[in-house]
């Protein structure tokens, strides 16, 4: 390998992919939990159970996986060198990643609303936003695998 990672490049790439898979699994599941949580009476036993599930998913899987994906991704970017910055596919991927990070932050704010029993959104809203990470993931995968430009 040409970069500073040398033989470790593929290992870091594997860990990056595993972290992205875990992050996306959580990003797809959390709004699904919100869909079902909406129908619960605030303060009910069922609502409290959803709060625990959502907190554990966010704090135990989604947040650590995002951090790991970011760290391993930065290592891969640094290993690739300056030529990567001029490739169009990479710029689109970077923008989609930034958007995914923003969606992650938005999901955290939605989670806080549920945790504090102040959610005012409908299950239809949560069904719609459940598709946002999917669309961004499709863009990212196509950019990385196909590299159309």
Q: What is the pTM of this model?
A: 0.93
Residue 139, classified by CB atoms within 10 Å of its CB into exposed (0-12), middle (13-18) or buried (19+), is: middle
Q: Mean pLDDT across the stretch 107-125? A: 97
pLDDT in tens, 2-51: 789 999 999 999 999 999 999 999 999 999 999 999 999 999 999 999 99
Q: Mean pLDDT across the stretch 102-112? A: 98
pLDDT value of position 105: 98
Per-domain residue ranges of the chain: 6-146
pLDDT value of position 103: 98
For residue 96, how many other CB atoms are within 10 A of its CB?
19
Distance CA 73, CA 139 (A): 17
pLDDT in tens, 47-89: 999 999 999 999 999 999 999 999 999 999 999 988 888 899 9
pLDDT in tens, 86-105: 899 999 999 999 999 999 99
Tokens matching residue 12 = 């870091």
pLDDT value of position 84: 84
């Amino acid at each position: 390998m040409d970069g500073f990672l040398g033989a470790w490049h593929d290992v870091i790439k594997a860990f990056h992919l595993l972290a992205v898979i875990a992050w996306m699994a959580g990003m797809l599941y959390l709004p699904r939990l919100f869909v079902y949580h909406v129908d619960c009476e605030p303060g009910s036993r069922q609502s409290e159970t959803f709060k625990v599930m959502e907190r554990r998913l966010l704090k135990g899987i989604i947040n650590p996986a995002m951090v790991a994906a970011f760290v391993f991704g930065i290592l891969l970017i640094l290993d690739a060198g300056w030529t990567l910055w001029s490739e169009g596919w990479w710029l689109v991927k970077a923008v989609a990643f930034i958007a995914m990070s923003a969606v992650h932050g938005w999901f955290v704010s939605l989670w806080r609303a549920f945790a504090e029993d102040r959610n005012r959104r409908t299950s239809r809203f949560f069904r719609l936003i459940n598709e946002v990470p999917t669309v961004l993931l499709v863009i990212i995968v196509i950019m990385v695998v196909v590299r159309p430009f």
